[in-house]
Amino acid sequence: VRHTLTTIAPTLGGGALPLAAVQLESVLDGVHDGVILRAGDRVTLNAAARRILAAPDGIEFRVALVNPRTLDGEPFALGANDLPGQDAIDNGTGGRFRIRVTAFDGRELVLDGSVSPAGAGAVIVFRDVTDEHERSELNVRTLNALFAALPIAVSVADAETREIRVANPAFAKLVDRSIESMVGLRPPFPWWLESETGEDRFTPGTRTECVFVRPDGRPRSVEVRVQEVRDERGEAALLLAVITDLSEGRRMQQQLVQSGKLAAIGELAAGVAHEINNPLFAILGLTEFLLKEAEPGSRAHQRLELIQTTGLEIKEIVRALLDFARENAEERHEVHVTDVVRDTINLIRRTNAHKGVELVETYCDGDAVVYGSPNQLKQILLNLVANARQAMPHGGTVRVDVHCHDDSVMVTVSDEGPGIPVDVAPRIFAPFFTTKRATGGTGLGLSVSLGIAEAHGGTLTVASEHGDGAAFTLCLPTAGDDG
């Protein structure tokens, strides 16, 4: 038996006639929103409420039957026989709610509505907002995922206090701090340069270039763009700071310039080397001829020897230049990188070229095959190992590690030397840059190696913390699996 409004009308309307009550019932049944009337211990659901909750006819409605929970799924503390609207009746005030419930047919719903005390009872009006809630929930999740995945650093601060509300992982990485440690901080932020703390970097719509300092003192030059997020009334509620790491862009620009330079130098080198080779050949030939004629031990003989040594040094340089330029000259075929590394290390060991340092190698299990020239790859390794050894004149360990990945193979040569000073680091790949002029360095080792690596479609990069050794990594794309 359905509870009709007739039974509760006296409470609601203060002595209304049954006729008015019947009218009220038909009005409520025509209302689109769900309405639950509570009078004393009688509970009545209008048509919309019964439809939304799939309430069977004649059910004695108890709150626990629909298992109300918070949006997070926390159940409310309820007795099995609790009637709806009890709080409103007890406190004489109502309020809005958004909760999860389980309909009688098992559907999970999100209801949005309000409870109001009415006379000695209460009225609950609600709507089914399940779809809408899921959509906005999905929106929030999408935005959160986007925020987390964004490679650009973003922080969100309170527009008034400038207190950080949240920052994304890219921001945490940029300033090298955890997100949790930053939430709640107010300016001046610990990553600001002390000399710049006076400046306001929070004027919406501005772009400022400045320097962020990490906890270990390493600086990062960045560009900060500030955007305002307004609330519904159009007032600034949040400030969005979007930070671009300029160091990265500058590094890439430098690399571009570098490889452009290298390409141009390669062409030049080939031309120059041939021009030098012919007269050099004549000089060396004639010197040898004169050496035979000169009295051994005489001054003339000594000077001729000096000419010969110098000439041979020039020949070495020319050879290196030609190697550098001859990137495409040698035929390419499929090469097993581990074999090349093994051969090269054996060669170094046999010729005792590792003088005074220990050589340790590790290989990956896979069989990394690249398309290239084994001799040129060997040359890279020889250059890297030579540099590593030269960085450790008092001995140490040179590690050569081969790592295989799905589409690339990486060979890392690392040493325990002093590493590369920051002011030197940007120049080490430049042709003829050397800090070993006194001991006969040509400064071509790394530039030739980089040239070869790039001609193989690969890269040669360095990681070095000053004072803690250097690690050079050659990364080559593996040959397609058709072979």
Ligand X SMILES: Nc1ncnc2c1ncn2[C@@H]1O[C@H](COP(=O)(O)OP(=O)(O)OP(=O)(O)O)[C@@H](O)[C@H]1O
- Between residues 170 and 388, which has the closer beta carbon with respect to ligand X? 388
Quick one: what does residue 436 bind among Mg ion, ligand X, none, with the CB cut-off 5 to 8 Å set by partner type? ligand X
Instruction: Determine the Cα–Cα distance for residues 463 and 456; give it in Å rounded to an integer.
Output: 21
Does residue number 420 form part of the binding site for ligand X (CB under 6 A)?
yes
Does residue number 383 form part of the binding site for ligand X (CB under 6 A)?
yes
Least distance between ligand X and beta carbon 340 (Å):
19
Stretch that binds ligand X, among 168-176, 204-212, 245-253, 435-443 (CB under 6 A): 435-443
Instruction: Determine the Cα–Cα distance for residues 271 and 255; give it in Å rounded to an integer.
Output: 25
Q: What is the sign, positive or negative, of the torsion defined by CA atoms of 97, 98, 102, 104? A: positive
| Cα dist from 204 to 117, 148, 159, 241, 280, whole Å | 46, 23, 10, 9, 67
Residues binding ligand X: number (CB under 6 A): 21
Quick one: what does residue 417 bind among ligand X, Mg ion, none, with the CB cut-off 5 to 8 Å set by partner type? ligand X
Residue 174 CB partners (closer than 8 Å, separation 6+): 153, 212, 220, 222, 243, 245
- Between residues 387 and 473, which has the closer beta carbon with respect to Mg ion? 387
Stretch that binds ligand X, among 37-45, 162-170, 180-188, 381-389 (CB under 6 A): 381-389
Region 126-165 residues binding Mg ion, contact defined as CB under 5 A: none
Least distance between ligand X and beta carbon 409 (Å):
21
Least distance between ligand X and beta carbon 391 (Å):
3
Least distance between Mg ion and beta carbon 450 (Å):
12
CB of 423 closer than 8 Å to CB of 466:
no
Region 330-389 residues binding Mg ion, contact defined as CB under 5 A: 387
Least distance between ligand X and beta carbon 443 (Å):
4
Contact pick of 68, 85, 445, 458 for ligand X (by CB under 6 A): 445
Instruction: Determine the Cα–Cα distance for residues 223 and 217; give it in Å rounded to an integer.
Output: 19
Which contacts qualify for 364-368: CB closer than 8 Å, 24 or more apart?
Answer: 364/338, 364/402, 364/403, 364/404, 364/409, 365/404, 366/404, 367/336, 367/338, 367/404, 368/336, 368/337, 368/338, 368/402, 368/404, 368/409, 368/478
Contact pick of 12, 89, 388, 452 for ligand X (by CB under 6 A): 388
- Between residues 188 and 441, which has the closer beta carbon with respect to ligand X? 441
Name the residue among 27, 11, 458 with its Cα closest to residue 259: 458
- Between residues 373 and 442, which has the closer beta carbon with respect to ligand X? 442
Does residue number 442 form part of the binding site for ligand X (CB under 6 A)?
yes
CB of 34 closer than 8 Å to CB of 28:
no
Least distance between ligand X and beta carbon 323 (Å):
11
- Between residues 118 and 321, which has the closer beta carbon with respect to ligand X? 321
- Between residues 192 and 429, which has the closer beta carbon with respect to Mg ion? 429
Instruction: Determine the Cα–Cα distance for residues 51 and 126; give it in Å rounded to an integer.
Output: 12
- Between residues 387 and 412, which has the closer beta carbon with respect to Mg ion? 387
Quick one: what does residue 94 bind among Mg ion, ligand X, none, with the CB cut-off 5 to 8 Å set by partner type? none
Does residue number 445 form part of the binding site for Mg ion (CB under 5 A)?
yes
Least distance between ligand X and beta carbon 392 (Å):
8
Least distance between Mg ion and beta carbon 386 (Å):
5
- Between residues 63 and 321, which has the closer beta carbon with respect to ligand X? 321
DSSP state at residue 192: B
CB of 123 closer than 8 Å to CB of 38:
yes
Instruction: Determine the Cα–Cα distance for residues 352 and 282; give it in Å rounded to an integer.
Output: 34
DSSP state at residue 152: S
Stretch that binds ligand X, among 107-115, 224-232, 322-330, 428-436 (CB under 6 A): 428-436
Least distance between Mg ion and beta carbon 322 (Å):
17
Q: How big is the chain by its Cα radius of gyration, in Å? A: 40
Measured in residues, the chain has a length of 483
Does residue number 415 form part of the binding site for ligand X (CB under 6 A)?
yes
DSSP string covering 100-111: EEE-TTS-EEEE
CB of 120 closer than 8 Å to CB of 13:
no
Does residue number 434 form part of the binding site for ligand X (CB under 6 A)?
yes
Residue ranges of alpha helices (H) inside 351-468 are 374-390, 445-455
Using CB positions, name the residue nearest to Mg ion: 445
Least distance between Mg ion and beta carbon 383 (Å):
5
DSSP string covering 318-344: HHHHHHHHTTTTSPPEEEEHHHHHHHH
Does residue number 379 form part of the binding site for ligand X (CB under 6 A)?
no
Give the other-Cβ count within 10 Å of 236's Cβ. Answer: 13
Quick one: what does residue 443 bind among Mg ion, ligand X, none, with the CB cut-off 5 to 8 Å set by partner type? ligand X
Phi, psi at 289, each rounded to 5°: -60, -45
Does residue number 435 form part of the binding site for ligand X (CB under 6 A)?
yes
CB of 176 closer than 8 Å to CB of 213:
no
Contact pick of 433, 459, 461, 466 for ligand X (by CB under 6 A): 433
Question: Which parts of this chain interact with ligand X (CB under 6 A)?
Answer: 383, 387-388, 391, 415, 417, 420, 424, 428, 433-436, 441-447, 470
Contact residues toward Mg ion (CB under 5 A) are: 387, 445
